[in-house]
Amino acid sequence: MNIALIQTKGGHASKASLEAAGFAVGIGETVAVVSGELQGDGGLGAVGVSRVLQGPADLDDAQLAKLVSAAAQQENANLVVCAQDDLGKAVAGRVAVRLNAGLIAGVTAAPQGGSYTRNVFSGKATAQVKGNTENLVVTTIPNAIGMPEAQGGTAAVETFSTDLGSSRVEILEAAQPSDGDRAPLPEAELVVSAGRGLKGPENWGIIEDLADSIGATTACSRPVSDIGWRPHHEHVGQTGTAIRPNLYIAVGISGAIQHLAGVNGSKVIVVINKDPEAPFFKAADYGIVGDAFDVVPKLTEAFKAL
């Protein structure tokens, strides 16, 4: 039996969590654990989860780890899977310690013969990793595994809890999504990103328009976030957010090795740069050599015409 730890938004499993659940289902029968509100089965039955254990709301990382570990013990599970999102980064390690389990973090493909492929060297390489322990905790990188096929089932939801103790973490201000309807960068399937080639923050309108024309999330290079043209959370690259969208459009970014490291997991890369020698073209699938201020509005119009 496997356990999948699920993060919900408005009562539905997040996309990254559904991927993690589908990954676990691909390995064996899977019971999901959620904390708090759930609409129906949260969409988990459809990806093959057999049952959902619904714990109390508003748990901190330590309490959530206790909940998941208790669920693993109750279900006699020796594999716990979770997305490598903010929750995975706060809770998966705790669960591993509680269950005396090895932790394989940042997995990018289904396991083969007990061997898991994980991201290392910031996307510059992968490693095949095996657990040394009877129990194992695995986290999956959002948008790397792919969404599981819908199986059309429904999972029974059961209330579940254990002795969770008290919390020392107090929420002062709940998260306010900054980007409206746009998908968060780590989960985004389409990303439009720009760099110093845009010459100034006042010119980002054409990037926003291009992103809006295909429903993409916006991102930027490190220099642009360092000089304050764009917020830090938009910085993609080795020391910012690592992403792996289906489509990454880079405008006016030269493609330093540190930037490539954070984006080269993208399935398709499009580079728009006026310098034909920009190193980014070597890592690109498609390219346009031209001035961003000329090319980007035309490309936006072409997308809108679809």
Partner 1 sequence: MEFLVCISKAPDTTTRIAFTEGDTRFSEEGVQFIVNPYDEWYALVRALELVEAGGGKVVIVSVGGPDCDPILRKALAIGAHEAVRIDANPTDAGQVAAEIAAYAKDKGFDAILCGKETIDHNGSAVPAMLAEHLDVPCIALCTSLDYEGDKAILNRETAKGIEKVAVSGPFVLSAAKGMAEQRIPNMRGIMAARTKPLNLVPAAGSAAGTTVEKFALPAAKAGVKLVDADNPTELVHLLREEAKVI
Reading the block at residue 288, the tokens are 């346009």
Minimum Å distance from CB 295 to partner 1? 5
- Please, which residue, 124 or 199, has the CB nearer to partner 1? 124
Minimum Å distance from CB 233 to partner 1? 7
Q: How far apart are CA 5 and CA 168, in angstroms?
A: 22
Minimum Å distance from CB 174 to partner 1? 6
- Please, which residue, 110 or 270, has the CB nearer to partner 1? 270
- Please, which residue, 51 or 188, has the CB nearer to partner 1? 188
- Please, which residue, 50 or 297, has the CB nearer to partner 1? 297
**Phi, psi (rounded to 5 degrees) for 8:** -115, 155
- Please, which residue, 9 or 199, has the CB nearer to partner 1? 9
Minimum Å distance from CB 194 to partner 1? 16
Q: Which residues contact 101 (CB under 8 A, 6 or more apart)?
A: 78, 80, 95, 131, 133, 134, 135, 136, 137
86-98 vs 61-74: helix crossing angle, rounded to 10: 50
Minimum Å distance from CB 60 to partner 1? 6
Q: Which long-range contacts (CB under 8 A, 24 or more apart) does 87-94 make?
A: 87/5, 87/7, 88/5, 88/139, 90/61, 91/5, 91/61, 91/64, 91/65, 92/5, 92/137, 92/139, 93/137, 94/61, 94/62, 94/64, 94/65
Reading the block at residue 172, the tokens are 């002062």
- Please, which residue, 22 or 131, has the CB nearer to partner 1? 131
Minimum Å distance from CB 260 to partner 1? 11
